[in-house]
Amino acid sequence: MKRNLNSIKETFTINQQQHYVKKNINYQFPLEISHFSYDENRVVSVNDRSGLKYFYEPEKNSDLNSGFPDLFIKREPKLEHLDSLIKCLFEVNTNLKKVNKSVYAPNFCTWRGIIRSLMVTPYFPKDSWELNIISFDNTIFMEENETLERKAASYGETEKEVKMSYYGYKFENIATISKPPSDLKKNDQELTDRNSEAVNTNVQYCSVWKSSLGTNSMILGGEVDCLYSENLVEHNHQKHYAELKTNKVFQHSWQRKSFERYKLLKVWAQSYLAGVPTVIIGFRSDEGILKFVKTYKTVEIPSMVNSWNPHVCLGFLDSILNFIKTNLEDVNDATQIYKLKYDSLQPHAIKLEGPIAAENNLCFLPQYFVNEVSQ
């Protein structure tokens, strides 16, 4: 049957986990190509590391409730699409063109969080997701299908959920400082201020990197929480990046198992994708008192657990990226949106459909970018 060109309705069938263990699937070590920071008002600056902090051991028994809820500044729920990532890529490519070098033209361009959601799907069958996809100029751009309502609720709906989310951000504040630890003076004011200043989720530092998995090249962007070393070799910040998380202290062995099965899988995937070598977890009591901090090496995490296999994640990711690329290879249109949907009620199928009606006005690539590339 002749298919209307560009009209797609395809299903990817999810097999058993072991099916995805493939030989020779290699995730190339991610290489940072640029970075950017958002300030307190969510203004973005490319090539700016002002949002990148240094880890500095927090005080034991710090109260993660402190400042809640009055000093919790949550960023406005706004659909940000891939704007900062594309701005960054655009600037990098503009500079490459100026010196007659070839520009980055990856098969995929998206946030790291999207790739992480895809790769952990075999282990999180209850987590549904839906992506918007544009195939344009030989690159597949993917974003989460967000709504303002969902964004507004992303800190949790009940007061308890919002507080749990606050704990995570508060830990980021009390475990970091803005200058290298070697520059700290005795009784430095910064050590007092970091405990009492507002938790502002507008502020973020993001790295942008290139990598590839199998035959698929990608440019990804993602938040990095801090640096874990003061012996910085200029141009090699990436080697010292660290991811901060919080978790409840284990009181029962099932809590440890659940931590390994769910949280460590997600934090491993997130850090591995970005080439972040260190994960630092602040363990807290039920009441939000910080008890101790534990550091993990990202490369060692898979061998510490037996409830998941990183090769399943990478093999699955390879299969789903190939599925997307194969089906969209004839599409080159910045105005056509395709949907990739995983619905936990149908846990064996991922559906790719589209294009969706243009009146939905979901085109999420910035116009300046489309114009430049179309020239």
Extract the tokens encoding 286. Answer: 């039920």
Residue 246 makes contact with ligand A3P by CB under 6 A: yes
Residues 195-234 that bind ligand A3P (CB under 6 A): 223, 225
Peptide bond into 69 cis (omega under 30): yes
Dihedral of CA atoms 330, 368, 130, 41 in degrees, nearest 10, equals: 160
Residue 69 makes contact with ligand A3P by CB under 6 A: no
- Measured from the CB atom, the residue of 32 and 243 that comes closer to Mg ion is 243
Q: Are 178 and 190 in contact (CB under 8 A)?
A: yes
Q: Please, is 261 exposed, middle or buried when counting C-beta atoms within 10 Å of its C-beta (0-12, 13-18, 19+)? A: middle
Closest approach of Mg ion to the CB of residue 246, in Å: 8
Residue 75 makes contact with ligand A3P by CB under 6 A: no
Q: Which residue sits closest to ligand A3P, CB atoms considered?
A: 168
Write the CA distances from 10 to 173, 177, 340, integer angstroms. 45, 49, 10
Residue 156 makes contact with ligand A3P by CB under 6 A: yes
Give the residue, chosen from 245, 259, 280, 363, that forms a contact with ligand A3P under the rule CB under 6 A. 245
Collapse the DSSP code of 84 into the 3-class scheme (helix H, G, I; strand E, B; otherwise coil) and give the result.
helix
Extract the tokens encoding 260. Answer: 């390994």
Residue 222 makes contact with Mg ion by CB under 5 A: no
- Measured from the CB atom, the residue of 69 and 156 that comes closer to ligand A3P is 156
Residue 77 makes contact with ligand A3P by CB under 6 A: no
Residue 194 makes contact with ligand A3P by CB under 6 A: no
Task: Tell me which residue of 259, 37, 74 sits closest to 154, measured CA to CA.
Answer: 74
User: Taking contact as CB under 6 A, which single stretch among the options 76-84, 166-174, 234-242, 366-374 is the one that binds ligand A3P?
Assistant: 166-174
Task: Tell me which residue of 247, 281, 134, 321 sits closest to 313, measured CA to CA.
Answer: 321
The site for Mg ion (CB under 5 A) is made up of: 225, 244
The site for ligand A3P (CB under 6 A) is made up of: 154-156, 165, 167-169, 223, 225, 245-246
